[in-house]
Amino acid sequence: MSRPRLTVRARLTLLYIGLFGVCGALVVAVSYAQVARLPAQVQDGTPSASDLAAFAGRCRSAEASTHPDARILAKCAAYFQQVGAQGQRDLTLSHLLRYSLITLALVIALAAVLGWVFAGRALRPVHRITTAARAASEHDLSTRVAATGPRDELRELAETFDEMLGRLQAAFEGQQRFIANASHELRTPLAVMRATVDVVLDDPSATPGELRAMGADIRVAVDHAEQLIGALLLLARNERGLTVREKVDLATVAEDVLDVCGFGAGGLRVHASLGPAVVLGDPVLVERLVANLVDNAVRYNLPGGEVWVSTRNVAGGGELAVANTGPVVSADDLGRIFRPFERLSDRTSHDGFGLGLAIVASIAAIHGGGAGALPREDGGLSVTVIIPSAGAPAPVSSSRPGEDPETAAGASAAGISGIE
């Protein structure tokens, strides 16, 4: 059978009582010792304990004599004076000890009451944090401690807990939006396949050509679903963090990606400025990051438009910048372009899932870097990614998915200004 454990409040109260008791006992002991030492300087000449009775008899005889010895009378007067002083000292010490102990007991009792009260007030933020933690759940993370009072360690703890709840709430809401959007996107190709099959099955006179057309349509829908599932799996894989770390030159990767991209079909002009930019990371993911940025610049461009790709070393890392011509992007849209399944209003006519830049931001984040974006004055978008170089600390990321557009734009301006 386990013994009941004392609460923190009770332990703090006992600590206060113990401290007051020890300090009070020391004060009483020191005071008693100092007072007890005061009569010591008048002890000279006092008879020993064995001679007290004889000395007292001689004093009585001298007082009763008709011709007393003046020297004996002086000694007797000094003796009786010292006996009186000794009695007064003993009485004073007795009263001092008694009243000191009574006062100490009252002070300890008062310390117990005040300690219990003030311990409860000091631990009030902890109780509020406990209440908020119990009220929080996956479906409701809106509870906050909202601590008030002096800015001390407990208030700092409460504010840190509130910030953690805010991050958890944002993460859960983002996860719910992601699941809802993913379900919707996966439902689309399945609906296409179902409708295609139903149309052919409802026609008993369907020809082999119609069946082949149905198969081709289903193949396209399957490819669409496969690409979406691959993108979702990549995002899920990135949640586990980076498992491969090798030196990768962003310039080499960008050159390889540009070689395999078909720019000629759309009449796009490419401007490449590829300087050395060696970073530390997963070569496969870095290649996917560069390919997504270039594909995004090509997909959302104007006929006969332009694409700018540049790489360079920056303080503590390597920088990849990709810009394109295209529709004008408002600053309000910058805060959501890195979110999964986000498509801008003027880009809904294009193919894609809205996961390209989300994957870019995710890959940059697990490499310790960040992605930022700025709209171009003539239309289009400029995206900058910074990844730490080998052996260097992670640079300050230019933006994160969901970051305030003005903050992201201001942080990214230095890296994007040299693209065009």
CB-count burial class (<10 Å; 0-12, 13-18, 19+) for 223: exposed
| pLDDT at residue number 412 | 34
| pLDDT at residue number 140 | 73
Q: φ and ψ at 417, to 5 degrees?
A: -60, -25
Helix pair angle (70-122, 124-135), 10° resolution: 20
Report the candidate in 379, 380, 336, 344 with the shortest Cα–Cα distance to residue 361: 336
Q: Cβ(360)–Cβ(338) under 8 Å?
A: yes
| pLDDT at residue number 181 | 67
Q: Cβ(307)–Cβ(380) under 8 Å?
A: no
| pLDDT at residue number 4 | 65
Q: What percent of the chain has pLDDT over 70?
A: 76
pLDDT in tens, 181-210: 677 667 777 888 888 888 888 888 888 888
| pLDDT at residue number 397 | 40
Alpha-carbon distances, residue 396 vs 33, 129, 275, 334 (angstroms): 67, 32, 21, 19
Q: Does domain 161-238 fall into CATH 1.10.287.130?
A: yes
Helix pair angle (356-366, 208-238), 10° resolution: 30
Q: φ and ψ at 124, to 5 degrees?
A: -60, -45
Q: How far apart are CA 309 and CA 135, in angstroms?
A: 50
Q: φ and ψ at 328, to 5 degrees?
A: -70, 130
Low-confidence ranges of the chain (pLDDT < 70): 1-4, 38-58, 60, 62-69, 80, 82-85, 137-139, 181, 184-185, 235, 238-240, 262-266, 343-353, 390-420
Q: Cβ(374)–Cβ(334) under 8 Å?
A: yes
Q: Cβ(119)–Cβ(12) under 8 Å?
A: yes
Query: How crowded is residue 307: how many other Cβ atoms within 10 Å of its Cβ?
Result: 24
The DSSP call for residue 109 is: H
Report the candidate in 329, 333, 345, 341 with the shortest Cα–Cα distance to residue 381: 329
Rg of the Cα trace of the chain? 44
| pLDDT at residue number 409 | 32
Evaluated on CA atoms 215, 219, 225, 230, the torsion sign reads positive
0.85 exceeded by pTM: no
Q: Which residues contact 58 (CB under 8 A, 6 or more apart)?
A: 72, 76
| pLDDT at residue number 321 | 94
| pLDDT at residue number 182 | 72
| pLDDT at residue number 390 | 62
CB-count burial class (<10 Å; 0-12, 13-18, 19+) for 87: exposed
Q: What percent of the chain has pLDDT over 90?
A: 9
| pLDDT at residue number 318 | 92
Tell how strand 381-388 and strand 317-324 pair up.
antiparallel
| pLDDT at residue number 44 | 46
| pLDDT at residue number 253 | 92
Q: φ and ψ at 313, to 5 degrees?
A: -85, 135
Q: In which order are the strands placed within the sheet that holds 370-375?
A: 269-274, 306-314, 317-324, 381-388, 370-375
| pLDDT at residue number 55 | 63
| pLDDT at residue number 346 | 46
Residues 382-396, buried b or exposed e (16+ Cβ, 10 A)? bbbbbbbbeebeebe
Q: How far apart are CA 403 and CA 383, in angstroms?
A: 14
For the domain spanning 246-416, the CATH number is: 3.30.565.10
